Each structure stands twice: as structure tokens, then as C-alpha cells.
Structure 1
């Protein structure tokens, strides 16, 4: 079965900055050094039953002041079909000029500003609406990494989608912390309400990945429940399975992760499996497979 991984990162510390990977800088994860290693296409090992047909590289902090440096590095080395999502600061004075530069690279399909707990303030910032307008004019999507349980952030995103009728948004990492031991029934209820609100817009898709960000020791049955519910809300055509490699290595090897994903989809049709594991990612990001 072909796989198109919609969310992974390569690290090249000898060439980039990666401020967040340095032990003296946040996030202060005790296991951060386990992933702070050089990695690239050759690190993506799969079993004989799976073939990596392509991937989407998500900005990894190579150089957030000059995000095109990471894109240039990737394009010079890629062997497989791929697209990239570049770093952007939506609120910067240089945002529009950066978007213009990034749009000139063949691999750039989208942009990402990690929103997290600042989602509402960033998405309502005066510069953001102009940045996302320019983004959509260049045909670039926006990778929104936010907590979908945060209604203020979700409502701000919905208002931007209404104001920008050609903008495509892809929610990162399920938009949730559903596997966390601290999750409450009230949180899950609000996540479900907000996911349904986002699903009303046909220009929104969801990537299911980053389980280890929620819980290092996550269990595949818990993730499977999230996959089934997300597909029920968005439909098969707007959901993508992805790895978040190399952070996924905290729990599973790359090969084991995709084997587990296929097991999760045991009750899905073959067409649905192909859509969730490859074809949707290729279509939403324009990966030529």
C-alpha cells in the first residue's frame, strides 16, 4: 500500500538553527534529546507491504527569520515527491514579503504559524487577515496548529475562513489533546462541537498525527476512536493520517506506526484506506505521485 505522509520533519543541525531543539531552550521536555538527531528521507524505513510514495515536510525551525533557507535545503536534497509547509509569522512586518519569496519555491504548498494557546490573539491580529489573503492569492494553504477545544481560537479561525473564501486550512495534530490523562468530558464535548463547526466549511481538512504530543505512551485503540470519530465528522475525503516523524519515535518506529495505522483502519474499505493513508494528502497538498 502506498503512503503519503502528510506531516513530518527533517533535522539538519549542521545547517540550520533549530532553537527549540537545544536543551537550554523551551520546550523543556526531558526526552527532547532522543529526537534531536539528524534525519532525512533515508530515516523513513517501511516494511515490504508499504511504499513511501511521497511526503509533506512541515517547517521544523531551521531558520524562522529566513524560512526560505529550510525550503532551499530540502529542495536540493529531496529524492521522493514532496511538498513543504514553510514557517511564517502572521503578525510580522515582513510577513507579506516572506510569503512572496516562499511562493516562488516549487515545493511550497502551505504556510504554518504555530498558534497553540495564542490562537485567538494571533488569528484576530490586524496583520493576520492580510497575510492569509496573500496566502490564498498564491494558492497556498494554511496549517493551523491549535487546540480545537479552544472556542475563541476556533471562532476566530471560522471568521477568517468566512472572510477569505478561497483559503484552505488544514488542522494539525487532530486539533486536540484527547489522549492526555488530564482530558475531561467537558473538553471532549467542546472539541466535538467545534470540530463539527469547522467541518461545515468544505475548505477545512484535518491531519491525524502527533499522538505522542498528547501522551508519550499513547495506545492505538484510543487513537483509533479519534480516527473513527473524526472521519464521521469530516468524511473520508478531508482526513489524513500522518506521522509527525521523528517525534513519533518516542512511541513507535516509523514502520510500526504505519502498520498500526493500517490495523486501525481494518473496518474501512480499501478505497477509504488509500484515501486516509495517501490520496487525500496528495490531493490537499498537491504531491505528485
Structure 2
């Protein structure tokens, strides 16, 4: 079973996404105008099925009402039993009402984990203030509660935050963590990639952390297979065959390429004898996703 371990869906008539519908400003990932429209399961699967993918993991994507988004994804999954679909929802792990929020999420059968973004991009993090989570004892307590419940945590951050994050995660060794977008190597110069690879070692050294080959176009909108090859190779080397997963990050990464181009590049860069693990088995095990 091949799995896309990181994608999004949205129905703009069902859920409101303030970041997506904002007008007049480009984000670190580019101009969202082309994706300011419904992106539903039929469109996603039409692309994914061409490459043998037959199940997927939906990742929260900044809905105004995160619980409403999670419930909508649950409805999509129930309406499409032929397509195994599980989800990672948003939850504020520093909230005083964390237990209540997690109880509500866990009432949904598709919930496998939560994501609270720690870092998006240097140009935006100062405005969002999410970097401060790493020094918040409530956030650490929240991670421990997520682990206690048997949920996973999807981690999105930038290389500059990896050292502090590794220190936090080392205190929750039982928590299964998926590093989104290879840790967002935003500086694609030789010096920048060297620094990212060094910081990445602090996370890859933790046996409970896995890595997603996803979102590599967000900081390089003219990416090619050749230019992402060092990133993919570093992730494969550091995390090994059993801790790497493929994710398309569609429709966000559709701003820079089509699904076929993206998948072909990843399929070429990952060794043939690792394909079963990276394109399916690891995600199936990590997210408990069954055909």
C-alpha cells in the first residue's frame, strides 16, 4: 500500500481558512491565489492514484475553527470508505483546556495525532510568536499528554529551532514525532544546507523522530530534482530506511509543480529497495493506517 503521508484538503463552503483567503500579500510559500479554491478528495486522488497511492494522511492547515476542520475531514473519510484516510488535527498544547480539546478530537475515529506549528519561516515567525512554545512548560506538558494518549505529534519548524526542540523532545522519549518538510531547510545555499544538516542531526539522533520528504518547494519555487537531491539524501542517511515518509504537501506544493513531477523526482532519489518503506510501510505503521 502506497501512502501520501502529508497533504491537505479544503472545502471553502464548509470551513474557513483565514491564511488561505487573505488578499494582496505573498507568503513564504508564494502567492496563494491559484489555490484559493476548493481542493477536494476527488481531485487529490485523481493525481495520487496514478502513482499507486491508495491511502493518505490529512494534515491540519490553519482553519479558523480547528475542530470544525477535523469534523469535516471525518465526514470526508466516512463518505469515501474506499480511500483509507486518517488525519492530524490542530491542538494548542499549551491550552488550559487541553484535555477537553483532545477528548473532542479523539471522539473522531480518523484522528491519529496533532500538529501545532513551532516555526514556519524566519520572515513570519516573529509575527506569529510560535517559537516561544519551546520555552513554555505548558507546551512540554502538552506533548507529554499527547504521548500518554497514544497520539502522534507532527513537528513543523525551521533549522534554527532544532537544538531547542531536540532538548524538549528528549524529555518525552515515548512520543512518536513526524518532522514535517524535512525540517524546512529555507537557506538553499551550500552553507545553508550544511548548517541545516548539522542541526538535523540533533533530531535524527532521537529514535522516536521520523522525517517527511515533503514541502521541499516552499522555499525553492523553481526546484529541480537535482537541487533537492542533497536534501533527500541527507534525510535518508540520517533517519534511515525505517524513519522516512513521502508526503506531497498538495495542494500547497502544486504552486511549484504537478504531482507527477514531484512523485517522479522522489521515486528516483529514493533507492529502489527503500520504496516500499518510504512510500508506504513507514507511514502505515506510524499513523496506524490500514487498507
Q: TM-score, normalised by structure 2?
A: 0.88
1:4 match: 3
| Counterpart Cα distance in 2 of 1:225 and 1:154 | 19
Aligned to 1:211: 216
Q: Deviation at 1:202?
A: 0.8
Counterpart in the other structure of 1:136 = 147
> What residue in structure 2 maps to residue 167 of structure 1?
175
1:189-218 CA-partner distances (Å, limit 9, x unpaired):
332222112122110001111122111111
Runs of 5+ unmatched residues, structure 1: none
Q: What is the deviation of 1:119?
A: 5.7
State the shift of 1:82 in Å: 1.5
Distance between the aligned counterparts of 1:47 and 1:234, measured in 2? 25
Structure 1 residue 226 displacement after superposition = 1.2
Q: Matched residue of 1:197: which SS?
A: helix
SS in 2 for 1:207: strand
Task: Please give the root-mean-square deviation of Cα atoms over the aligned residues, in Å.
Answer: 2.1
> Structure 1 residues 162, 52: CA separation in 2 closer, same or farther (over 3 Å shift)?
same
3-state DSSP class of the match of 1:57? Answer: strand
Aligned residues: 277
- Counterpart in 1 of 2:122? none
1:42 to partner: Cα distance? 0.7
Which segments of 5 or more consecutive residues in structure 2 lack a partner in the other structure?
A: 120-124
CA distance, structure 1, for counterparts of residue 229 and residue 145 of structure 2: 37
Quick one: which of 90, 93, 103 aligns to 2:93?
90
Alpha-carbon distance in 2 for matches of 1:238, 1:132: 20
Question: Deviation digits for residues 88-123 of structure 1, max 9, x if unmatched?
Answer: 122333333212211222111111111114564212
After the TM superposition, list the runs of 4 or more consecutive aligned residues in structure 1 that deviate by more than 4 angstroms: 25-30
> 2:26 and 2:89 mapped to 1: Cα distance?
20
**TM-score under structure 1 normalisation?**
0.88
Match of 1:71 in 2: 70
Deviations 1:28-73 (A, max 9, x none): 4762110111012211224876222210100022334xx2221221
Deviations 1:103-162 (A, max 9, x none): 222111111111114564212212101211111111111111001x21xx3233222222
8 Å contact kept, 2:185–2:196: no
